[in-house]
Amino acid sequence: MHEASRQYSSAMEIYKEEAGEEHPSYATALHNKALVERLLGRPDEAVRLFSKALDIRRKVLGAEHVDVGVTMHNLGSAVRDLGEFDRAREMQEHALTVLRRRLGSEHLTTATCINALGLTLKRAKEYDEAIEMYQKALGIQRRSLGLKHSECLQTLYNMAECYAEKGDAERENAVRSEILRLVQAMQQQESNDGGDEAAAAAGDDADSDVDIKKAG
């Protein structure tokens, strides 16, 4: 991961020199470097780079471009890492509005952003709102992927953790039982080809950054 950070730093300098600081390619290099910095546990640097990429994309592409929504979403996730939950929520809600307009309410990237907003609300101890977001994300994922998919399992896991923190043991146990049932069904389905998606599907209360390619 540290090597990836160095490679993206080199790419940033190349694009800055050859294309200029207001070129979309330079913004993409900044954005990708920010993704790596966040994974390395450096949210301050991630916020700085995402913010710079966002400024360029707004100026060059316009406020309603999907790449602007993607960058704002990821910036919100990095801000959440700093413990600034209200600010993170505001950014992620705005990003979600843009992505719904540009990609549609049923797009999987939209579901990813809703899931991440749920995690922000959970961290802020807004449990009922967080659960509502997880349910919305799960609905999109289920319609697109079917329940027997790792993304659905991760959302269910996030939901169970939210119920646990809320102190609702009955609903927590019901969701965990559903996860177990789905994992067992997936393992049975995959037993003939040696797949291990079910075994590694859910864990550690997670959300996802949104990648440009993933956003379309």
Do 34 and 85 belong together in one domain?
Answer: no
Do 116 and 190 belong together in one domain?
Answer: yes
Q: What is the pTM of this model?
A: 0.84
**Domain end (from 16, 32, 62):** 62
Backbone angles phi, psi at 106, to 5 degrees: -105, 5
Contacts of 205 (CB under 8 A, 6+ apart): 119, 122, 157, 158, 161
Do 46 and 127 belong together in one domain?
Answer: no
Do 36 and 78 belong together in one domain?
Answer: no
Is residue 115 within 8 Å of 132, Cβ to Cβ? no
**Domain end (from 35, 62, 89):** 62
Side chain identity, residue 40: L
Do 196 and 143 belong together in one domain?
Answer: yes
Residues 173-193: tens digit of each pLDDT: 999 999 999 999 999 877 766
Do 94 and 55 belong together in one domain?
Answer: no
Mean pLDDT of the 85-108 span:
98
Where do the H-state alpha helices sit in 42-126? 43-61, 66-81, 85-103, 108-123
Helix, strand or coil, per DSSP, at residue 165: helix
Do 125 and 203 belong together in one domain?
Answer: yes
Higher-pLDDT residue of 195 and 76 is 76
**Domain end (from 15, 35, 62):** 62
Contacts of 116 (CB under 8 A, 6+ apart): 73, 76, 77, 92, 207, 208
- Split into its structural domains, the chain has a count of 2
Do 32 and 78 belong together in one domain?
Answer: no
Residue 55 is part of which domain span? 1-62
Do 186 and 201 belong together in one domain?
Answer: yes
Q: How far from chain centre, in Å, is Cα 203?
A: 15
What is the structure's pLDDT at 192?
Answer: 62
Do 57 and 87 belong together in one domain?
Answer: no
CATH number at 101 reads 1.25.40.10
Do 77 and 91 belong together in one domain?
Answer: yes
- Cα–Cα distance measured from residue 212 to residue 216, given in angstroms and rounded to the nearest whole number: 7
Do 29 and 117 belong together in one domain?
Answer: no
Higher-pLDDT residue of 178 and 2 is 178
Residues 107-142: tens digit of each pLDDT: 999 999 999 999 999 999 999 999 999 999 999 999
